Structure 1
Amino acid sequence: MTMSASVRSEQTEPAGVRRYRTRRRLVEQVRRKKSGGERWRLVIARAPLYKDSDPMDFDAIMYVTIAARPELERGMAGQGSRPLSTVSGRSSCSPRRSFTGSDRRSAMDPFATATETLTVLRARKASAIELLELHRKRIARHNPELNAIVEPDFDRARQAAEAADRRRVAGEDAPLLGLPMTLKESINVRGLRTTVGMPFWKDARVDYDAPVTARVQAAGAVVMGKTNVPQMLADWQSSNPVYGRTNNPWDLARTPGGSSGGSAAVLAAGLTTLEFGSDIGGSIRVPAAFCGVYGHRPSDSVMPRSGQFPFPPMPNSALAMAVLGPLARSAEDLEAALEVAAGPEVGEDVAWRLTLPAARHERLSAFRVAILPALDWMPLDSEIATALEALASRLGRLGCTVKRAQPEGLGDHREFFALYLTLLSAITTARMPVEQRRATAETMRTRDDEWSRATQRGIEAGAPDYLLWIGRREQIRAAWRAFFREWDVLLAPAFFTVAYPHWDKPTPATPESIRKTLDVNGAPALETLGLFYPAVATVPGQPATAFPVGRTRAGLPMGLQAIGPYLEDRTPIRFAALVARELGGFTPPPRYAAD
């Protein structure tokens, strides 16, 4: 997005969004100034959160700390010579709820980050029951058109919230105590359905919790339900015969992404505070980019992989490349989620322990940032390319080392991408009956190109072939280890275009559906190519954090990914957090920010 486009979008966005952006900008300016060691004092910034006509309308009392210099106070307020304490949409109104502490907004703000919400809970300025009720009402109001939360569990959520409040009164605390959140439908929650959108599993209720479910609940989270997915998690849409189609909060006619599309949609619309999804083909990063939120694909082995699909409680056949990971409205929330859920697989936790190292840097200017080189054969939306270049230029001006670079041996990535498609098809067809595998291979043969042939190899191969491909993957991983001795993150697009219009994708695939194209810069591009940018991190098992970088001229979110060193997940997460402080982060969709 060009600067002029960004300015135009701010001028035309609704007042509720502008107020939100102003509050976030003030907080981020404070954070940057705070690191400079200035003296601080407390002032109040009052801004209406809701439309005047909304019965829930009240003034938000946001306490921020600023340097005790009048000129800085005036500058941060952005209101000429008026001090920050007098900036108000309706200064004569008394707030219904006020609280103390820095960098926090309204106790009942549905777009607060999980970290901010936990701060409010710990200060006992809102109860778990109140926050659950806030989200339940928003879900009742907005979910009918989004169709994102498909397995609600409010009765048990209320019990969990009441228990959290009792613990809080007793002086107890836990990392997520009282936090309302949701989980992807494919992640098992005892007593709820896990169908992955397949009609033959429409009544499949599981009797155990996935490790990630057990860990967030043990940390005190209030799980409100589960969010929608595509059939067998095999699409960048989230539509299936069991639950129907999920829509993008930025444009209901478009996909929110997949397979964790419901996850990203509920976060963007302010219906939950935190989510966990899964990712093998960009299923966390693509929805995050499509909906303008944050998503983290952890390093291989950082999170347990078991507990997905209505299978026995053991690691699934996608052990090689699939991971579970968090989605949120801020990068800081991603790190908080990992603190709770990261750790060994069930059975290995009797001995192994996981201690993720600290981020390599705490200052953005200290990062060594590689930019993935452009490829002649790989299309990329021009506005995403412009956003990537603009960020690279900005980072350079801030003092970062910035250069186009990639691990040695990847070349033009064709061989690398073919290996990914081969491994992906081998993994995802492993449980298919023999006849279904043969039929799938025959379908792929109707589209004779290098990518369909790579997919066929994975479907038809045997164990010796698979072991050879895993060996090649290990060589690629070694190249990435060497690469990150010189670099801290590699920046790349999260996907090759923005959220696209819904289309009816059949399951199983047909000769017509495997020829599906998407519009990229006015030209058709094979949908299969959308797997390329996610694969860059998936094949070597690197951690990758998707983060928003503004919107297109049409108002759709754009996202990039920061790929980091193996097992150094905090490094790309911290990079994304620092970029947000410099350029801005999540912005709520106007349709849902107004109430």
Structure 2
Amino acid sequence: MFRWVVKLRGLRIRNLVMAPPGIAALRVFLWTVFRAANFLYLPVFVTRIFHRATPCPPIENDILLLTAVELAEKIRKRELTCEAVVKAYIERVKEVNPIINAVIEDRFHDALEDAKEVDRFLSNTLMTTEEIEEKKPLLGIPLTVKGSIEVEGMKNTSGVVSRANVIAKEDAIIVKSARDAGAIPILTSNIPELCLNWESTNKLVGTTRNPHNTTRTVGGSSGGEAGLLATAASIIGVGSDIAGSLRLPAHFCGVWGHKPTPRVVPFAGHYPSCKNEDEWREVFTLGPMARYAKDLKLLLKIIANPEAKETLRLDEPVALEDLRIYYIEDLESILTNKVSSVCLDALHSVVDHMNKLCHVECEKAKIPLLKYAPEMASLVLLDIDDVDNLFVGRGDGSYAELFRYFTFRSKSVFMAIAYGVVRKLSKYIPNSTVEDCRKKLSEMKAELIKMLGDNGVLLIPTFPTEAHPHGDILRKVLDSGYCVIFNAFGLPVTNCPVKFSKNKLPVGIQVVSAPHNDRLTLAVAAEIEKTFGGWKPPQPREKACY
């Protein structure tokens, strides 16, 4: 909690007011608020002494250890029945969900019927295995779906009490695409209320717990997906990303998450959405999550817009040795926590490996304005109008709802209300300041794209630390800036698990490329998995670590 003192000693404080015009006052205000939060958390730190983690049961069914690519091949070749595969995942979900609380609603009965239909099809079809692979590459593969994405006949609440009985009338486009490819949805996974939090909690389902240590968060907003993947209760899933929502949970849970290039994956069928579609498409996207790196590319090929597939060139070979690798160790922002030693070690381990693999050594990127990017990106994203939330206009009624929350009468969680309050307060920020942020971000984006070109990637921490205890995101909000900046820049990013901390918690890094070069980040992800092992199941511990 006294890390801010270390920052002062390291002279990071000098960046506090040395910001572009119009940003300095905002930085001073935010710095004061977040540093004060450390002291307000003192009672919370004391109560954590009594918290204990609940271990997840070990994985005993070998079916759960196969990649989606391997499972699909075995199902096509009749080496495994689809019913056996779906049944194995259903049993695993039932085994772990009472511990991690990651499921909104299941369709186990219908999924088993779908699996039996697949087995009947395979018994009677005259198609060759090659033809099946081409037309239905996910045939028989269980799919989990983030609870903000529509699945026909299932609840589409987005964690909002007033939407408790809302039922999706049809599949979201990406769910339909996955079904057409043979995937079988088995459940929808938990999220924060309206996806407005980096912790997956709401008043309908409750809080999802990290399977590596249940006293820690899974992150958000695709937290349920990450938790299920981490404990082998899912093999592939789909989520969404507006401010790190795919990558942060993947980092905390030790799995893979890919934020595609904007406009590549259709977002119709996701709630919340935004009436300002042009601006929304540039920062928000749906994308694949997986337990194994190779499955990311398979799923992305299926859910991408048909017209985007040629642009992405996902099947084009990538010569890793010819890549130019850049890296950033720390944003060096006064508003973010210093990157921990274990996260730095994960980054350096990958850099050292790529130095041996590539013809050109990795180069440390130097983008001076990047230290101001977290608050700039947050301010620009906050300025997007007509995003579905609890309030109308620019946070009208948020003050009253905040009062109801503190008097225990609100049906919403704090972060969803806080979004409206911050939107309300943001009207006092001059338009010139917001436009200045847009301009500076545009300049940084252009600089990054020029640096990366068609053959470069950037390595950067996903978050400064491993998964923190539940609730700590309130004092670490701008640490999510390591993810948020790439939403503002509109660049494709893959989260890659690299190693574990001494607390047996996973940590990873982000791999970033220029737009439509998703194949580069996915190729580096596959190399990282091959070298460092990728996903590992939660390990039992003698006692909880904080």
Give the TM-score range, shorter chain. 0.7 to 0.9
- Tell me the secondary structure at the aligned position of residue 283 of structure 1: coil
Displacement of 1:588: 1.3
Structure 1: 5+ residue stretches without partners: 1-52, 58-105, 444-451, 506-515, 518-526
Amino acid at match of 1:539: A
Displacement of 1:540: 1.4
Do the aligned residues in 2 keep the contact of 1:176 with 1:219 (CA within 8 Å)? yes
- Which residue in the other structure is 2:378 paired with? 421
- Tell me the secondary structure at the aligned position of residue 436 of structure 1: coil
The question of 1:366 aligning with 2:313 is answered: no
The equivalences for 1:14-33 within 5 A come to none
The separation in 1 between residues aligned to 2:396 and 2:427, in whole angstroms, is 7
- Which residue in the other structure is 1:113 paired with? 67
1:128 to 79, 82, 91: 82
Displacement of 1:532: 1.4
Which string of whole-angstrom CA distances, capped at 9 and with x for unpartnered residues, describes residues 151-194 of structure 1?
10112212321222222221442111110111000001111111
Is 267-276 or 111-120 further displaced after alignment? 111-120
Amino acid at match of 1:117: L
Which string of whole-angstrom CA distances, capped at 9 and with x for unpartnered residues, describes residues 348-373 of structure 1?
x7xx7654124786454332110115
The separation in 1 between residues aligned to 2:210 and 2:479, in whole angstroms, is 18
Which string of whole-angstrom CA distances, capped at 9 and with x for unpartnered residues, describes residues 188-215 of structure 1?
1111111111111111112121111111
2:259 to 297, 318, 325: 297
Query: CA separation of 1:503/1:116 partners in 2, compared to 1, >3 Å: closer, same or farther?
Result: same
The separation in 1 between residues aligned to 2:251 and 2:196, in whole angstroms, is 18
The question of 1:208 aligning with 2:170 is answered: yes
Displacement of 1:562: 0.4
- Tell me the secondary structure at the aligned position of residue 420 of structure 1: helix
- Tell me the secondary structure at the aligned position of residue 235 of structure 2: coil
2:449 to 470, 474, 481: 481
- Which residue in the other structure is 1:382 paired with? 341
Do the aligned residues in 2 keep the contact of 1:491 with 1:560 (CA within 8 Å)? yes
Q: Calculate the TM-score normalised by the size of structure 2.
A: 0.76
> Percent identity between the aligned chains?
28
2:119 to 165, 169, 178: 165
The separation in 2 between residues aligned to 1:388 and 1:310, in whole angstroms, is 34
Amino acid at match of 1:553: K
The equivalences for 1:218-367 within 5 A come to 218-309=180-271, 318-343=280-305, 354-358=310-314, 362-367=318-323
CA RMSD of aligned residues (A): 3.4
The separation in 2 between residues aligned to 1:580 and 1:214, in whole angstroms, is 29
Do the aligned residues in 1 keep the contact of 2:395 with 2:423 (CA within 8 Å)? no
- Which residue in the other structure is 1:402 paired with? 361
Query: CA separation of 1:459/1:440 partners in 2, compared to 1, >3 Å: closer, same or farther?
Result: farther
The separation in 1 between residues aligned to 2:519 and 2:394, in whole angstroms, is 44
- Tell me the secondary structure at the aligned position of residue 283 of structure 2: coil
The question of 1:493 aligning with 2:467 is answered: no
The question of 1:411 aligning with 2:368 is answered: yes
Displacement of 1:314: 11
Amino acid at match of 2:81: S
From the two aligned structures, give the one with the greater helix fraction. Answer: 2
- Which residue in the other structure is 1:155 paired with? 109
Which string of whole-angstrom CA distances, capped at 9 and with x for unpartnered residues, describes residues 373-431 of structure 1?
53433421121112212221222133453344447xx4142443332111221237744
Amino acid at match of 1:130: A
Do the aligned residues in 2 keep the contact of 1:425 with 1:456 (CA within 8 Å)? no
Is 390-399 or 170-179 further displaced after alignment? 390-399
Amino acid at match of 2:376: L
- Tell me the secondary structure at the aligned position of residue 368 of structure 2: coil
The equivalences for 1:575-594 within 5 A come to 575-591=524-540
- Which residue in the other structure is 1:572 paired with? 521
Structure 2: 5+ residue stretches without partners: 1-56, 403-419, 542-546
The separation in 1 between residues aligned to 2:369 and 2:277, in whole angstroms, is 34
Query: CA separation of 1:459/1:531 partners in 2, compared to 1, >3 Å: closer, same or farther?
Result: farther
Amino acid at match of 2:368: G
Amino acid at match of 1:479: E
Do the aligned residues in 1 keep the contact of 2:394 with 2:424 (CA within 8 Å)? no
Q: Report the number of matched residues.
A: 456
The separation in 2 between residues aligned to 1:131 and 1:501, in whole angstroms, is 34
Displacement of 1:590: 2.8
The separation in 2 between residues aligned to 1:498 and 1:189, in whole angstroms, is 32
Displacement of 1:233: 0.8
- Tell me the secondary structure at the aligned position of residue 305 of structure 1: coil
- Tell me the secondary structure at the aligned position of residue 500 of structure 1: coil
- Tell me the secondary structure at the aligned position of residue 516 of structure 2: coil
Amino acid at match of 1:483: M
Displacement of 1:315: 5.5
- Which residue in the other structure is 2:498 paired with? 549
- Which residue in the other structure is 1:38 paired with? none
The separation in 2 between residues aligned to 1:415 and 1:203, in whole angstroms, is 43
Is 462-471 or 240-249 further displaced after alignment? 462-471
The question of 1:503 aligning with 2:506 is answered: no
